[in-house]
Amino acid sequence: MDRVTLDDILNNDPFNLLPYIKAKNPVITADNRLVASFEEINSFYANNGSEPQKSTDMNERGLFSRLKGIRDNLDKMKALKKYDKYNLLENIEED
């Protein structure tokens, strides 16, 4: 019995299933999550003309808390400075 190679398998797709196989989602790092989280705050600012406030709207309140957490962490502020379209992190000190 001959050994079957990966090329044999990929070249023999009788049910035409290979075009429907999707790649796995890329690994999302903590840095990717942090940037995506800050981009949500940027989007809020773009749509509302102001930064999120502590309000009864749960979405806005969540964004407010997230922004506060970022501002309380100098490392996060430094990492996000280049994504700060609206100077929400204006008090950051450059080294």
Residues 35-67 pLDDT 10s:
999 999 999 999 999 999 999 999 999 999 999
pLDDT band of 20, cuts 50, 70, 90:
confident
Backbone φ and ψ for 70, nearest 5 degrees, come out as: -65, -45
pTM of the model: 0.68
pLDDT at 82: 94
Residue 91 DSSP one-character state: T
pLDDT band of 23, cuts 50, 70, 90:
confident
What is the residue extent of each domain of the chain?
Answer: 26-83
Give the integer Cα–Cα distance in Å for 93 and 37. 22
pLDDT band of 93, cuts 50, 70, 90:
low
List of residues 6+ apart from 33 with CB closer than 8 A = none
Give the integer Cα–Cα distance in Å for 41 and 63. 6
